[in-house]
Amino acid sequence: MSDIHFGQEKDGGRFTINSDAKERLLEDAAAEIEKLGTSASGIIVTGDIAYAAKYEEYAKAGEWLDRLAEHIGCSRLDIQMVPGNHDIDRDAITPVTKFHLDSVREHGDKMLDMLLDDEVQREVLYERFAAYRDFSSGYGCDLDVGGAYSADVVVTVAPERTVRFVHLNSALICSLKDDEGKLILGARQRVFTPIDGEEMVVLVHHPLNWLQDSDEAARYFKSRARVIISGHEHFPSLDITPVEEECDFLMLAAGATAPDDIGEKYTYKYNILTFDWDDGSDALAVTINPRTWNFEMKRIERDTPFLEGRSERNVLGSPYFRRGIPPVARVQGVVDEQPQAQPVANPVTGSKEVDFSMTEDVRLVRLRFFRDLPEDRRRRILVELNVIPADLTDRLDHTIEQRFFAKLVAQGRMGELSAAIDAAILKPKSGNDE
């Protein structure tokens, strides 16, 4: 999915209509997954989860995503996401911030690298993502504050064959108004390290045509990634390009789950994707089941025209699969276990400063702590658990909060933290709460 836009409605009528469409999506997704005779492995959201990047919008998004996960039979922890332009808080764009963003647009990689290399200056870029960072880190989808890409999830699709989901932040220099072709990924996000036996799926909000460095990014992507999934433009598209012999590149632009305007062109859309290993060609196969809104029947159904006569299953020439150790042949009649996603470190930046490769119980506490509690309640809990002093006046930035959470994990205090979260959620807001 992409562009869910929680909080965009300006009136009660629009809210009612959009809420109804999202309910129908839950029903449709459950029915389609049931036809497959299995449960879903996870959920992908390519940006614009919120509309104005406020805590309340992400709270509503979290509740709905929990319900979607329940409907399709996957864990609510197995949700991948990247930020979009609506996941930045425009109220946090000060004149200084705008100056930095305009400078990066004008001078490109050189200015971006200078800001990213300075720990103080780079926070100017990331403070606009405050609410999104809390929300996404609950799922383990942290933004890399060094400006590199985040390779958060690897899924095994066959013996010795894995798919790595690479998370990009194309909204890094988004400002009050963004023109097509003016955004920048930067070299740290463009360059991927290929791994034998593994094909990459890139998740990004903006299609390549929105980037200044689109040509250079495309060179890396088509060489080292097999799939790129984007959002932003609210209209779906599919393109499969032969790069060279036995090497293909699939670009899928997701339609908007809740576009700004509903009409003949833009309407409610999402996709059901299956990533599989094609043993005959030792290649990655991507099956696309496109879903769209039926205006006449007011329900979601298959978007048959979208495929334009293509087969829904696309076998992609996969050079990095072929470079890996030959997979063990599947035993006829034996059903493979459900692929399980595992958090991994960024191969470019090395091991994560905070290791979130943890048990499901701890991951659930992390989700509730960062996603379900506003900043003031998280701080109150850290004081109550004697992690920080009550008279500390400095604002806790996101990275420091993660370190404190990791410290509680290391001390074996998850029971205390979980109980404190329960109390904070059940306690009514006081007059001092924002």
The residue with tokens 């006829």 is 332
- Residue 244 tokens, joined: 């060279």
Residue 348 belongs to a domain: no
Q: Which of 318, 343, 368 is the last residue of a domain?
A: 343
Residue 434 belongs to a domain: no
Strand 79-82 versus strand 313-316 pairing type: unpaired
Q: Are residues 222 and 339 in the same domain?
A: yes
- Residue 263 tokens, joined: 């009409």
Residue 338 belongs to a domain: yes
List b or e across 61-89, with b for residues whose CB sees 16 or more CB atoms inside 10 angstroms: bbebbeebbebbebbbbbbbbbbbbbbbb
Report which of 227, 4, 19 is spatially closest to residue 135, judged by C-alpha positions: 4
Cα–Cα distance, 300 to 24 (Å, whole number): 6
Cα–Cα distance, 394 to 401 (Å, whole number): 12
CA distances from 59 to 18, 56, 134, 348 (A): 17, 5, 11, 32
pLDDT in tens, 295-323: 999 999 999 999 888 889 999 999 999 99
Q: Are 272 and 289 in contact (CB under 8 A)?
A: yes
Element spanning 4, H or E: none
CA distances from 244 to 21, 215, 412 (A): 42, 17, 52
The confidence score (pLDDT) of residue 429 equals 53
Strand 269-278 versus strand 283-294 pairing type: antiparallel
pLDDT in tens, 221-240: 999 999 999 999 999 999 99
Strand 227-230 versus strand 247-253 pairing type: parallel
Burial group, residue 349, by CB count within 10 angstroms (0-12, 13-18, 19+):
middle
- Residue 413 tokens, joined: 């205090």
Highest mean pLDDT among 16-30, 146-160, 392-406: 16-30
- Containing domain of residue 393, as a range? 360-426
Q: Are residues 203 and 302 in the same domain?
A: yes
Q: Are residues 312 and 395 in the same domain?
A: no
Provide the strand spans (E) within 168-298.
198-203, 227-230, 237-244, 247-253, 269-278, 283-294
Residue 224 belongs to a domain: yes
Q: Are residues 271 and 394 in the same domain?
A: no
Report which of 65, 73, 201 is spatially closest to residue 138, judged by C-alpha positions: 65
Q: Are residues 275 and 399 in the same domain?
A: no
First-to-final CA distance of the chain: 31
Cα–Cα distance, 326 to 317 (Å, whole number): 16
Would you say residue 339 has pLDDT above 50? no
- Residue 297 tokens, joined: 């029947």
Q: Are residues 392 and 295 in the same domain?
A: no
Q: Are residues 71 and 124 in the same domain?
A: yes
Residue of higher predicted confidence among 203 and 336: 203
Q: Are residues 267 and 179 in the same domain?
A: yes
- Residue 157 tokens, joined: 């699709």
- Residue 430 tokens, joined: 């006081």
Residue 365 belongs to a domain: yes
The confidence score (pLDDT) of residue 30 equals 98
Residue 407 main-chain phi, psi, to 5 deg: -65, -40
Q: Are residues 246 and 299 in the same domain?
A: yes
Cα–Cα distance, 338 to 78 (Å, whole number): 13
The confidence score (pLDDT) of residue 355 equals 46
Residue 185 belongs to a domain: yes
Q: Which of 309, 343, 377 is the last residue of a domain?
A: 343
Most distant pair of Cα atoms in the chain: their distance: 65
The model carries a pTM of 0.90
Instruction: Give the number of other CB atoms < 10 A from CB of residue 235.
Output: 14
DSSP letter for 361, please. H
Q: Are residues 317 and 369 in the same domain?
A: no
Residue 322 belongs to a domain: yes
The confidence score (pLDDT) of residue 119 equals 83
Q: Are residues 367 and 251 in the same domain?
A: no
Instruction: Give the number of other CB atoms < 10 A from CB of residue 183.
Output: 23
Angle at alpha carbon of residue 122, lines to 117 and 128, rounded to 5°? 160
Instruction: Give the number of other CB atoms < 10 A from CB of residue 293.
Output: 21
Strand 299-302 versus strand 237-244 pairing type: unpaired
Cα–Cα distance, 196 to 25 (Å, whole number): 38
Residue 101 belongs to a domain: yes
pLDDT in tens, 20-64: 999 999 999 999 999 999 999 999 999 999 999 999 999 999 999
- Residue 404 tokens, joined: 């404190």
CA distances from 67 to 73, 240, 331 (A): 10, 33, 36
Q: Are residues 161 and 234 in the same domain?
A: yes
Confidence band of 334 (pLDDT split at 50, 70, 90): very low
Count structural domains, the chain.
2
Q: Are 372 and 62 in contact (CB under 8 A)?
A: yes
pLDDT in tens, 75-131: 999 999 999 999 999 999 999 999 999 999 999 999 999 999 988 888 888 999 999
Q: Which of 343, 369, 404 is the last residue of a domain?
A: 343
Q: CATH number of the domain that 101 lies in?
A: 3.60.21
